[in-house]
Amino acid sequence: MKILVVDDEPNIRRTLRVALETMGHEVQEAASASTALSEVERQPCDVALVDLRLGGESGLELLESLRAQSPRLAVVLITAHASIDTAVEAIRRGALDYLPKPFTPAQVRAVLERVDQVRGLRDRVADLEQQVRDIVPEVELESSDPQMQQVMELTRLVASADAAVLIRGENGTGKGVLARALHAWSKRAGGPFVTVNCPSLSSDLLESDLFGHVKGAFTGAVRDAAGKVAAAEGGTLFLDEIGELPPALQPKLLRFLQEKRYERVGEAKTRIADVRLVAATNRDLESAVASGDFREDLLYRLNVVELTLPPLRRRSDIRTLAEHLLAFFSRQSGGRLKGFTPEAHDRLARYAWPGNLRELRNAVERATILAAGPLVGLADLPDRIGQMQTDASRSIEIGQSATLEQVEFEHIRRVLVAAPNLEAAARILGIDPSTLYRKRKQYGL
Ligand SMILES: Nc1ncnc2c1ncn2[C@@H]1O[C@H](COP(=O)(O)OP(=O)(O)OP(=O)(O)O)[C@@H](O)[C@H]1O
């Protein structure tokens, strides 16, 4: 973890730095409240260890300012006057814990383990919140489109088997939604549904995210972690964007698929899990196999059954889908909107929908907020749809009349089309793969 030590006594700062660095943490120091605040602003950290008496300043006040400035920061107070009262006051004002002075390295370690546990729980809550959002109440799986009807029929058929399933389709076509439906219709429905986003983490972190790790396996592994394979026990593990699975992890996943066996990072003990694997990809995995980026044996293990979702532009039910989504969002906001104008419908039917159902959903939700009603018109649709020229790939020129959002959307879209994979696209854009991942979701790309 990144830890900020705030104490006006150089000796305490030095002792803590040595102890914390020995435990594998990164340490920043501050001798006063104002330095502490500017340090946190300059470089975000995970934990602040704050002395209660900072010369003439109060650690309790700094605690409040730090919490206001950086709500995710865990603050631990250090106090030579450990009384129940100060401890209670510190916790009441948002401290996560306190350390009595003088302290031993073991006490520091114990406090940090608690901080790490709380952070783990917080992440778990965020993850669960995301899952609740992912359950997507607006989803309509019934379709009059013949291709979709075929996909749904096959999904119901294979749901009861335990075979691995590979879901193919462009971004936003509903692969995640279909994976959930598959789980809900399977005999594992009572078990957990756990998602792993393959491109959002580095190879090492992804391995530990999947299979778990033991305490001390790497810097920052301060306690054992079970991993998502274990979390999905008795249920379904959904590997999103499997085409981005780093090569180093592919043999490990293959072994897991074949034998249901795996090891946590840093541990030799073999564990067994009863988990069904469903994977999704928007990439042409056959060409990834041909270029050596994806193992052929893994592809064959994953696609025992294949389900392919059609892109939205090829679906004959765009109109019904748009009406369904509008009815859903309109209900949530008092039922003001009754439908689309004929021009808006026409545009929705002719637009290319590079972000597929996600883009349609976002466009309709946005229109529900903007439209005066009772019908959604062209002006209520995002510019790229409403002002679309007949050529869907109209060019945006830098310096010409375009919003920053349009420019960012178009630039990211084109880089994604041209780059061989997400990591390369993130490198070109000069952003983190996880930021790119979020932006794609935001823009429905
Ligand atoms: N059948 C549906 N009815 C209504 N909305 C849908 C449907 N399928 C998908 N959506 C909308 O599109 C969004 C994206 O779906 P989902 O995440 O399943 O797509 P995906 O193909 O997995 O995308 P990605 O490849 O980017 O992960 C959903 O959150 C939902 O809002």
Q: What is the mean pLDDT of residues 305-332?
A: 92
Band the pLDDT of 80: cuts 50, 70, 90: confident
Give the highest mean pLDDT range of 67-76, 148-157, 435-444: 148-157
**pLDDT value of position 391:** 41
pLDDT in tens, 184-207: 899 998 888 999 988 767 788 889
Band the pLDDT of 422: cuts 50, 70, 90: confident
Name the residue with the closest Cα to ligand 1, atom 3.
139
Name the residue with the closest Cα to ligand 1, atom 5.
139
Task: Report how far ligand 1's centroid is from the alpha carbon of 249 (Å).
Answer: 27
- Specify the long-range contacts of residues 337-343, CB closer than 8 Å, at least 24 apart: 337/367, 337/368, 337/371, 337/373, 337/374, 337/375, 337/376, 338/373, 338/374, 338/375, 339/374, 339/375, 339/376, 340/375, 340/376, 340/377, 341/375, 341/376, 341/377, 341/378, 343/377, 343/378
Going by the DSSP 8-state scheme, the letter that residue 225 receives in this structure is: B
Q: Residues lining ligand 1, CB < 6 A?
A: 136, 138-141, 169, 171-177, 240, 280, 282, 357-358, 361
The residue type of 201 is L
Predicted TM-score of the model (pTM): 0.65
Counting from 1 in the atom list of ligand 1, the atom nearest the Cα of 176 is 18
Lowest mean pLDDT among 82-91, 310-319, 333-342, 376-385: 82-91
**pLDDT value of position 137:** 67
Q: What is the mean pLDDT of residues 424-440?
A: 88
Task: Report how far ligand 1's centroid is from the alpha carbon of 368 (Å).
Answer: 19
Band the pLDDT of 181: cuts 50, 70, 90: very high
Name the residue with the closest Cα to ligand 1, atom 2.
139
ipTM of the complex: 0.97
Q: At 311, give phi and psi (nearest 5°).
A: -65, 155
Band the pLDDT of 182: cuts 50, 70, 90: very high
Name the residue with the closest Cα to ligand 1, atom 6.
139
Among 151, 139, 143, 145, smallest CA distance to 177 is for 139
Domains of the chain (ranges, CATH numbers):
2-121 (3.40.50.2300), 135-310 (3.40.50.300), 313-443 (1.10.8.60)
Task: Report how far ligand 1's centroid is from the alpha carbon of 140 (Å).
Answer: 10
